Amino acid sequence: MDKFLVSFIGLLMTVSGIIGTSLSDNLATLGELVDPEIEVDDTELTEIQSWTSQCGGEVLVNVDSFGAVGDGVSDDTQAFVSAWNKACSTPKSVFLVPIGRRYLVNATSFIGPLVIQMDGTIVAPDEPKNWDPKFQRIWLGFTILEGVIFQGSGVIDGSGSKWWAASCKRNKTNPCNGAPTALTIDSSSGVKVKGLTFRNSQQIHFTIARSDSVLVSEVLIIGPEDSPNTDGIHIVESTNVVIQKTKIGTGDDCISIIDSSTSIKMKKIYCGPGHGISIGRLGKNNATDFVSHVVLDTAFLKDTTNGVRIKTWQGGSGYARAIRFENVRMEDVENPIIIDQFYCDSPTTCKNQTAAVEISQIWYRNISGTTKSELAMKFACSDTVPCTKIVLSNINLVKTDGTAQTYCHSASGFSYGTVQPSADCLSSDQDLLIDQLKDANAEDEEPRIDTLFTLSSHPFMPTVMKGYDP
């Protein structure tokens, strides 16, 4: 934990009895923000023995043994299904996609527990018109997995170019249709993915949905900068997910985290090109969405259209809170730090609505680099549901050909340490706190504090203590 925060919280604790129980509750919340608990084991994946070596008692189930041709032209779908079924019914089995081959596999759903050694290339059919309508949004789907390991040097190639050409993002005269996700892990637990390469997905490359305890390590995701909706890793309704030592460059968010996801940790991430690392979109179609306890620690973003972003639609509800972005380096990034409660990814203008997803307890720490846009930090928040408890610490973002600025609308919080450009536009409730403390002293009653960060930054605390004499 940050040494200043330790001492700061300790000082706050000494006056928590004066200020009331709501402050103590908020202190506990700050503790969660600083050190969120993520239960998944993020230690290095243990390599199983390679299929080329002695098996050590493991049963290799090779897709080639079930009729897979591996020439990238012949349809190997049935061979994969047959090999999978055999592997699932065989104790200590390893599902093997051998190196040096290219397997054409149509949209397929797999269910069951085993180890997957993927060293070859799996390629999708490249013609959208021939896609099975039963699998409109899925190419390779894995469901109800428990303790499954995906590993190897293999490639999952979505052959997405024709899908991109048919997107309304490329051509506004095209209909806005969905497209398959290359790999989906759904309703699973204890899953580990290591070493794989994803490229040229039809839309999202890799989705983790409705799952718990997932570890992704040393994965490479590649797609053209202009490939629409090709998020790298998309997390939805999942808990205890760790993504580490991963490089992503696509045409959309490198990592996106949406509804009902909590305890997500990202560490040692390279992002670019793409749209940055995003919480959201949340609240679309007046939905109620929740995201909390997210940490990005150690990342490098280059040539992205956003840096670290939280985006919500108007009209939604729920919250995004207890989120920390730290130790991030940016190079030629537009919108390095952005909260946007007016997000609108629609071919038509979005109407103004008063309801909004609540955004609070957001901490930006040790973030530096260069911005392409004049606004290095933008906090565009709802008038009716403002952003609160934004903390900035040790920020240094500069514009190479001009002066970087900060924009704030309906956003409150505080900063400490060096913050460049200045974030003086963040509103504060310091005066309210002083008045409440004075009133409580005069009337001998307990003041109400609705937010921890009315205490603001450390230079202010001596003023508070001076203004209150028990």
In three state form, how does the secondary structure of 375-436 look?
EEEEEECCCCCCEEEEEEEEEEEEECCCCCEEEEECEEEEEEEEEECCCCCCECCHHHHHHH
Active site residue 409: no
d(CA 228, CA 189): 30
Active site residue 252: yes
- Residues 301, 271 contacting (CB under 8 angstroms): yes
- Residues 69, 76 contacting (CB under 8 angstroms): yes
Whether residues 440 and 348 fall in one domain? no
Q: Is 80 within a domain?
A: yes
Whether residues 28 and 40 fall in one domain? no
Q: Is 261 within a domain?
A: no
What domain count does the chain have?
A: 3
- What is residue 63's predicted lDDT score, i.e. its pLDDT? 97
Residue 392 CB burial class (10 angstroms; 0-12, 13-18, ≥19): buried
Q: Is 5 within a domain?
A: no
Whether residues 73 and 194 fall in one domain? yes
Q: Does the CA dihedral 334-340-345-349 come out positive or negative?
A: negative
Chain segment 170-225, per-residue pLDDT in tens: 998 999 889 999 999 999 999 999 999 999 999 999 999 999 999 999 999 999 99
- List the one residue out of 308, 455, 326 whose CA is nearest residue 395: 326
The three-state secondary structure class of 125 is coil
Q: Is 418 within a domain?
A: yes
The three-state secondary structure class of 445 is coil
Last residue of a domain, one of 252, 287, 314: 252
Q: How far is CA 156 from the centre of its chain?
A: 21
The three-state secondary structure class of 128 is helix
Whether residues 16 and 42 fall in one domain? no
The CATH number covering residue 202 comes to 2.160.20.10
Whether residues 359 and 457 fall in one domain? no
Whether residues 113 and 17 fall in one domain? no
Please tell me which residue in 157, 252, 259, 340 is annotated as part of the active site: 252
Q: Is 393 within a domain?
A: yes
- Residues 429, 411 contacting (CB under 8 angstroms): no
Q: Which residue has the tokens 């408890």?
A: 389
Chain segment 31-90, per-residue pLDDT in tens: 545 555 555 554 444 443 333 323 334 789 999 999 999 999 999 999 999 999 999 899
d(CA 5, CA 346): 41
- Which domain does 161 fall in, by range? 36-252
Please tell me which residue in 205, 234, 275, 293 is annotated as part of the active site: 275
pTM of the model: 0.84
Whether residues 65 and 161 fall in one domain? yes
d(CA 109, CA 380): 41
pLDDT in tens, the chain (470 residues): 555 454 444 444 444 443 444 444 444 444 545 555 555 554 444 443 333 323 334 789 999 999 999 999 999 999 999 999 999 899 889 999 999 999 999 999 998 778 899 999 999 999 999 898 889 999 999 999 999 999 999 999 999 999 999 999 999 899 988 999 999 999 999 999 999 999 999 999 999 999 999 999 999 999 999 999 999 999 999 999 999 999 999 999 999 999 999 999 999 999 999 999 999 999 999 999 999 999 999 999 999 999 999 999 999 999 999 999 999 999 999 999 999 999 998 878 899 999 999 999 999 999 999 999 999 999 999 999 999 999 999 999 999 899 999 999 999 999 989 999 999 999 884 433 444 445 555 554 433 333 333 333 333 333 333 333 33
* Helix (H), strand (E) counts: the chain: 6, 30
- Residues 386, 356 contacting (CB under 8 angstroms): no
- What is residue 36's predicted lDDT score, i.e. its pLDDT? 52
- The number of CA neighbours under 13 Å toward the Cβ of 9 is 17
- DSSP assignment of 170-204 equals T-TTS------EEEEEES-EEEEEES-EEES-SS-
- Residue 6 Cα distances to 246, 282, 428, 458, angstroms: 31, 32, 22, 12
- DSSP assignment of 34-98 equals HS----S--SPPPPPPPTTS--TT-EEEEGGGGT---EEEEE-HHHHHHHHHHHHTSTTEEEEE-
- Residue 349: partners with Cβ closer than 8 Å, 6 or more residues away: none
Residue 462 CB burial class (10 angstroms; 0-12, 13-18, ≥19): exposed
Whether residues 448 and 415 fall in one domain? no
